[in-house]
Amino acid sequence: MGVDPESLIRPLLRNVHGYVPGEQPKIKGLIKLNTNENPYPPAPAVLKAIRHATDGRLRLYPNPTAEPLRARLAKFHRCAPENLIVGNGSDELLALAVRAFVEPAELSASKKSRSTVQFFEPSYSLYPVLADIHGAAKNPVPLSKDFTLPDTEESPKLWDSRAALTFVTSPNAPSGRGYFTSVLEGLCLKQEGIVVLDEAYVDFADENALELALRYPHVLVARTFSKAYSLCFLRVGYFVGHPTLIAALHKIRDSYNVNGLGQIAAETTLDELSYYRRNFKRILATRARLTKALTDLGFVVLTSQTNFLLAKPPKLPASAWLEALREKKILVRWFPYAAVKDYLRITVGTDNDADALIRAARKILAQ
């Protein structure tokens, strides 16, 4: 027919740059320290529950609202099921929040704040992609040089207290910086729009801010079963918040959006918290040991409240270290953004992974 397929794509999408995930290695034997996965497997009972669920139920649709899982989570967080929505990973829910609470810029020209998605830089690089896909305005606000939250009252020209939606990654990625709940509460109280506190890594931190989602009607907290609970493969995340906001998100989520095996695995995970908490302690111990070892080698390692480290390597540029470590079959993450281009982000793996990284770093420095 001679139709240009490019002309069939929405003009808005033609210039959108999609989210770039961490590399999934195709080379055998690589030590994978680039995507912040838990190095330890799910609890044996979780694996058993998944195996037992691979029966005739596979031909049936799963519970459409993840009702049994929401009931379990409600008991765990001391709230009601109406305070919860479960998603295909927390990423789906972040996207739903943009769709539910932000007007596309072309529909809200007279009220710019209603079309604004606000976030700190650096933080999760999916946020601006979600804004672009929706045709929303973006308001990236730089973190302080030490990756602490800036004083928004001192920079009113940068900060929009009326932004429709503000994302705050806490603890921050990629820096690993944790934030006090009292500081986050102060920020939330200044906002007229919705605030999503993205707590993907909170199980490795000293504090969490879930109480704010149950105290303030404009605050949502995002959690995931991926990072701490070893279920990346099954994609289960959830929001906690006011029933009115949760109900709005339910209206626009996909039908049967969370697969049945994921729901069963997440439910069983909540029965096995002692297993996971032991693993958290192991990861924190490895994090402390790796921090010291890298510091002794001349790295500048930032204090972390996550299962990864942001470290500035010595002698060579971070991008050169990325390739040098890859040659030694160790995969870490490097971001070409001004605020973090001098750093490597390194997942905290097992003790054996940490030892291999330290040995590789010594050899690179010796060369």
Name the residue with tokens 């069983």. Answer: 268
Of 100, 99, 95, 66, residue with least CA distance to 255: 66
Confidence band, pLDDT 50/70/90 cuts, at residue 1:
low
Dihedral sign from CA coordinates of 104, 338, 322, 35: negative
User: 169-184, pLDDT tens digit by residue?
Assistant: 999 999 999 999 999 9
Percent of the chain with pLDDT over 70: 98
Number of H-type helices and E-type strands within the chain: 12, 12
Give the pLDDT score at 108. 60
Name the residue with tokens 């049994």. Answer: 68
| Element at 129 (helix H, strand E) | helix 126-134
Confidence band, pLDDT 50/70/90 cuts, at residue 6:
confident
Average pLDDT, the chain: 94
Confidence band, pLDDT 50/70/90 cuts, at residue 363:
very high
Residue 70 scores a pLDDT above 80 = yes
Residue 148 scores a pLDDT above 90 = yes
The more confidently predicted of residues 284 and 104 is 284
Instruction: Calculate mean pLDDT across residues 7-11.
Output: 80
pTM: 0.93
Give the pLDDT score at 237. 98
Instruction: Calculate mean pLDDT across residues 286-315.
Output: 98
Of 112-116, 198-202, 335-339, the one with minimum mean pLDDT is: 112-116
Residue 155 scores a pLDDT above 70 = no
Give yes or no for a contact between 343 and 312, defined as CB atoms under 8 angstroms apart. yes
Residue 156 scores a pLDDT above 90 = no
List, in order, residues 6 or more apart from 6 with CB less than 8 Å away: 14
User: 200-222, pLDDT tens digit by residue?
Assistant: 999 999 999 999 999 999 999 99
Residue 20 scores a pLDDT above 80 = no
User: 39-61, pLDDT tens digit by residue?
Assistant: 999 999 999 999 999 999 999 99
Helix %, strand %, coil % for the chain, to 5?
Answer: 45, 15, 45
Domains delineated in the chain? 18-41+274-366 (3.90.1150.10), 44-271 (3.40.640.10)
Give the relative orientation of helices 126-134 and 89-101 as an angle to the nearest 10 degrees.
40
**Max Cα separation, the chain?**
66
| Element at 44 (helix H, strand E) | helix 44-53
Distance CA 197, CA 168 (A): 5
List, in order, residues 6 or more apart from 193 with CB less than 8 Å away: 101, 113, 116, 162, 163, 164, 165, 166, 218
Token pair for residue 276? 């996971």
Give yes or no for a contact between 101 and 193, defined as CB atoms under 8 angstroms apart. yes
Beta bridge partners of 280: none
